[in-house]
Chains A and B, each alone.
Chain A
Amino acid sequence: MGRLSFLKLIENDFYFQIWGDLSMKKRTKQLLLSFMTMLLAFALAACGNKSEEGTSTENKESKSETRIYKGEKGDVKVPAKPKRVAMMAATYAGNLLDLGITPIAVNEYPKANKFYGNKLDKAEVVTADSYEKLLELNPDLIITYSDDKNIKKYEEIAPTATLTYDKYDYKEQHIEIGKIVGKEKEAKAWVKEWDKKAADASKKVKDAIGEDKTFMVMEAYGKDMYVYGKNWGRGTEVIYQALGLKAPKKLEEDVFGPGWKAISTEVIPTYAGDYIFVGSGAGNPDNSFMQSDVWKELPAVKNGNAIKFDSESFYFNDPISLEKELDFIVKELTTK
């Protein structure tokens, strides 16, 4: 008697035929035994490893000079002058670059930022769960968000400093990173210089377009529209904070609080300002709303004041990206 074919099984509508006698106790017991033995072996192996694990780590860094960083979750012993920094948080890579440190590892988002040029070419891409690769890269400091799932694993590889993203504005965040890598002075210097640069730019822009023009920053994702508040990347820090430009009243009321808002195409006119910055690129083929009369008849669009920006680069709010964003925005607003 051959084996019951797969198909037979199906065509019988799963009323399986049962072969031979139903009680094959001996065989069952044998199979059961072997199966349980196997599981037991696993269990033992697991327990055995558990007991050994305690002795495994610790003596990682000890030779080079260290310093204490007072972090959000207590003190972290970090190298005085970290050389091999792994940046596992997506948005902070540019802060490191600006402080003159090229991270040895970043995750995949900053690689797409065109503002960094070839500065990150040497940095390895390390995704969230490939801590083995991180270990191989032998970092002396790891920086990540405080909600990273793998912090415990990172801590076994190297000293790990964590930051909560929305606890700092874009200037504070730069200074904080400066503190972590021992370059607080440089970070503060940048903030000072930036404030001066921004004030100049603000004056220049206001001279060119007038005091009370309003601005909107939006992006289309698939079939949805997003409007952004004053601290959500995409150039919003530059427009609303650094340049001190205004948002339409309705936008300020609805969006500045939550930081961003998903809206329907229909209400773009309600939130539209005299100028509209609209994100493009980033695998986003849908711009059908730009073909609709609702878009075409917007005053900003009619006057040629709808300005496209590159979503993947404008996503960031680190010094390098901010300066390029500032240059771009000032140029767009003053050369018309």
Chain B
Amino acid sequence: MFKTKTKQIKENKVYSRPAVGSAILLMGFIILIASIGLAISVGAAKINFLTVWNSILNYDPSREADRIIISLRLPRELGAAIVGAAFAVSGAIMQGMTKNPLADPGLLGLNAGASLALACVFAFNTGADYFTVMILSFLGAGIGAGMVFGLGSMSRGGLSPIRITLAGAAVSALLSSLGEGIALYFKLSQDLAFWTAGGVSGTNWAQLKLIVPVVLVGIVIAVIFSRQLTILSFGEEVAKGLGQRTILTKAVLMTVVLILAGAAVSLVGAIAFVGLMVPHIVRFLVGTDYRWIIPCSAIFGSVLMVLADTFARTVNAPYETPVGAVVAMIGVPFFLYLARKGGRKRS
């Protein structure tokens, strides 16, 4: 039994680079801390490194620098880190499960559901505060994903990746059109655009208290199931042959994707490119074993988002550039390079 297992895994050429992986994890963590530090000290209002330490260690609300650091920048950068990790990990899971290199959480109808919910909130209940808005967009994301799964599993064939993808495209199109329609009808589309483009600005401690535990739990579950995901990425038949209960595994993994992406979308809106891009880059570096891909994606996603957000705040200060745009700009050259390289390897 064990022999056939290893043989089958070998046939599917799982290659991993544990050394590179550990190095990335360690370096990544250091870089993450450093970049958060850097991110806090630069910005529209200039503050030096020492002041940053000083104000984190003993906060004095009467100093303007301290107020900016503690009530604006620190929550913002933590938010960026957590959101980046959540998007990247959920993207990695999606790509592993569907074996589709273009899969990202947006395909599950999460973004569309969230934006529809947002449009409804803006249109029908202008009194809602930030917190309510967040909860409702999380619910919207859940409804979107629920529709995709419901539709995908309605038939006898069950949840095949291609069917999920198609269902996702249809549901996303429907929900985002409804959202757009509502937004245009009520003249809200610019408010909505500002909201989704605004990224992590405006993140505060109350939101973080809600989001951080959720995301951390999601990532831990993802890491626990990463071995199963590697097996699943060989294909469903293989996974079944290896004795995996594929339905259970897929259900758990999909739930994790929903939690992670839902939480992230509710905080910053749809920044889908992180989820699409980071797993590709990580796979290129550490190989195809998801035990390495998932944690490395988390770190890599965090660093990317923190740096992107810092860039977004500083490149044209005091005016904020939408962070989603920055992520896309940074990511695209790399992505194009990968696409060309990958294409060459395959043929």
- Chain A residues packing against B (C-beta within 8 Å): 7, 10-11, 13, 108-109, 221-224, 261-267, 269-270, 281-289, 291-294, 297
Residue in chain B with minimal CB distance to A112: B187
With A266-B318, A283-B126 already in contact, 11 other A-B pairs whose C-beta atoms are closer than 8 Å:
A7-B157, A224-B194, A263-B44, A264-B44, A266-B45, A284-B122, A284-B126, A285-B126, A285-B132, A292-B72, A294-B72
Question: Could you tell me if A223 and B160 are in contact, using CB atoms closer than 8 angstroms?
Answer: no
**What distance in Å separates the Cβ of A228 from its nearest Cβ neighbour in chain B?**
15
B130, B157, B193, B204 pick with most chain A CB within 10 angstroms = B130
For B43, the chain A residues whose CB sits under 8 A away are 264, 266
Partner of A10, one of B45, B166, B192, B313: B166
**What distance in Å separates the Cβ of B310 from its nearest Cβ neighbour in chain A?**
12
Question: Could you tell me if B68 and A285 are in contact, using CB atoms closer than 8 angstroms?
Answer: no
Q: How would residues 96 to 128 of chain B score, 1 for a CB under 8 Å from any chain A CB and 0 otherwise?
A: 000000000000000000000000011101111
- Asked if B64 is at the interface (CB within 8 A of a chain A CB), the reply is yes
With A269-B64, A294-B71: A223-B122 Cβ-Cβ less than 8 Å: no
**What distance in Å separates the Cβ of B157 from its nearest Cβ neighbour in chain A?**
7
**What distance in Å separates the Cβ of A215 from its nearest Cβ neighbour in chain B?**
19
Residue in chain A with minimal CB distance to B312: A264
Name 8 A/B residue pairs within 8 A (Cβ), A-sorted. A11-B160, A222-B191, A263-B44, A264-B43, A266-B44, A270-B45, A293-B70, A294-B71
- Asked if B61 is at the interface (CB within 8 A of a chain A CB), the reply is yes
Question: Could you tell me if A222 and B195 are in contact, using CB atoms closer than 8 angstroms?
Answer: yes
For A294, the chain B residues whose CB sits under 8 A away are 64, 67-68, 71-72
- Asked if B4 is at the interface (CB within 8 A of a chain A CB), the reply is no
Question: Could you tell me if B130 and A286 are in contact, using CB atoms closer than 8 angstroms?
Answer: yes
**What distance in Å separates the Cβ of B127 from its nearest Cβ neighbour in chain A?**
7
**What distance in Å separates the Cβ of A125 from its nearest Cβ neighbour in chain B?**
12
Question: Could you tell me if B72 and A267 are in contact, using CB atoms closer than 8 angstroms?
Answer: no
For A11, the chain B residues whose CB sits under 8 A away are 157, 160, 162
Partner of A285, one of B62, B127, B155, B162: B127
A223, A267, A286, A294 pick with most chain B CB within 10 angstroms = A223
Question: Could you tell me if A288 and B202 are in contact, using CB atoms closer than 8 angstroms?
Answer: yes
Question: Could you tell me if A286 and B202 are in contact, using CB atoms closer than 8 angstroms?
Answer: yes
- Asked if B201 is at the interface (CB within 8 A of a chain A CB), the reply is yes
Partner of B61, one of A269, A287, A293: A293
- Asked if B11 is at the interface (CB within 8 A of a chain A CB), the reply is no
**Please, how many angstroms separate the alpha-carbon atoms of A86 and B125 in the complex?**
32
For A261, the chain B residues whose CB sits under 8 A away are 319
For A284, the chain B residues whose CB sits under 8 A away are 122, 126, 191
Question: Could you tell me if A283 and B186 are in contact, using CB atoms closer than 8 angstroms?
Answer: yes
**What distance in Å separates the Cβ of B197 from its nearest Cβ neighbour in chain A?**
8
Question: SS class of chain A's interface: helix, strand, loop or mixed?
Answer: mixed
**Please, how many angstroms separate the alpha-carbon atoms of A265 and B72 in the complex?**
8
With A7-B157, A263-B319, A286-B202: A13-B162 Cβ-Cβ less than 8 Å: yes
Partner of A266, one of B68, B129, B155, B199: B68
**What distance in Å separates the Cβ of A201 from its nearest Cβ neighbour in chain B?**
31
For A267, the chain B residues whose CB sits under 8 A away are 44-45, 317-318
**Please, how many angstroms separate the alpha-carbon atoms of A107 and B80 in the complex?**
41
**Please, how many angstroms separate the alpha-carbon atoms of A289 and B67 in the complex?**
12
**Please, how many angstroms separate the alpha-carbon atoms of A283 and B202 in the complex?**
17
Residue in chain A with minimal CB distance to B187: A108
**What distance in Å separates the Cβ of B135 from its nearest Cβ neighbour in chain A?**
12
**What distance in Å separates the Cβ of A162 from its nearest Cβ neighbour in chain B?**
23
- Asked if B58 is at the interface (CB within 8 A of a chain A CB), the reply is no
Report the interface size for chain B: residues with CB under 8 A from the other chain.
Answer: 49
Question: Could you tell me if A262 and B126 are in contact, using CB atoms closer than 8 angstroms?
Answer: no
Q: Please report which residues of chain B, range 179-203, place their CB below 8 angstroms from some CB of chain A when the two chains form the complex.
A: 186-188, 190-195, 197-199, 201-202
**Please, how many angstroms separate the alpha-carbon atoms of A263 and B319 in the complex?**
5
Closest 5 CB pairs of A and B: A222-B194, A223-B198, A222-B195, A293-B71, A292-B71
For B307, the chain A residues whose CB sits under 8 A away are none
**What distance in Å separates the Cβ of A263 from its nearest Cβ neighbour in chain B?**
5
Residue in chain A with minimal CB distance to B188: A283
Question: Could you tell me if A289 and B202 are in contact, using CB atoms closer than 8 angstroms?
Answer: yes
Question: Could you tell me if A281 and B68 are in contact, using CB atoms closer than 8 angstroms?
Answer: no
Question: Could you tell me if A285 and B72 are in contact, using CB atoms closer than 8 angstroms?
Answer: no
For A281, the chain B residues whose CB sits under 8 A away are 126
- Asked if B133 is at the interface (CB within 8 A of a chain A CB), the reply is yes
**Please, how many angstroms separate the alpha-carbon atoms of A28 and B199 in the complex?**
53
- Asked if B163 is at the interface (CB within 8 A of a chain A CB), the reply is yes
**What distance in Å separates the Cβ of A10 from its nearest Cβ neighbour in chain B?**
6
Question: Could you tell me if A297 and B195 are in contact, using CB atoms closer than 8 angstroms?
Answer: no
With A11-B160, A264-B313: A292-B320 Cβ-Cβ less than 8 Å: no
**What distance in Å separates the Cβ of B131 from its nearest Cβ neighbour in chain A?**
9
A10, A263, A285, A287 pick with most chain B CB within 10 angstroms = A285
Partner of B198, one of A10, A13, A224, A283: A224
Partner of A221, one of B61, B62, B191: B191
Residue in chain B with minimal CB distance to A14: B162
**What distance in Å separates the Cβ of B270 from its nearest Cβ neighbour in chain A?**
14
Residue in chain B with minimal CB distance to A291: B204
Q: Please report which residues of chain B, range 140-193, place their CB below 8 angstroms from some CB of chain A when the two chains form the complex.
A: 155, 157, 160, 162-163, 166, 186-188, 190-193
**What distance in Å separates the Cβ of A19 from its nearest Cβ neighbour in chain B?**
22
**What distance in Å separates the Cβ of B299 from its nearest Cβ neighbour in chain A?**
26
**Please, how many angstroms separate the alpha-carbon atoms of A281 and B122 in the complex?**
10
**Please, how many angstroms separate the alpha-carbon atoms of A221 and B162 in the complex?**
39
**Please, how many angstroms separate the alpha-carbon atoms of A18 and B73 in the complex?**
60
Residue in chain B with minimal CB distance to A261: B319
**What distance in Å separates the Cβ of A305 from its nearest Cβ neighbour in chain B?**
18
Q: How would residues 195 to 221 of chain B score, 1 for a CB under 8 Å from any chain A CB and 0 otherwise?
A: 101110110100000000000000000
Residue in chain B with minimal CB distance to A227: B318
Question: Could you tell me if B122 and A285 are in contact, using CB atoms closer than 8 angstroms?
Answer: yes
For A287, the chain B residues whose CB sits under 8 A away are 129-130
Question: Could you tell me if B204 and A292 are in contact, using CB atoms closer than 8 angstroms?
Answer: yes
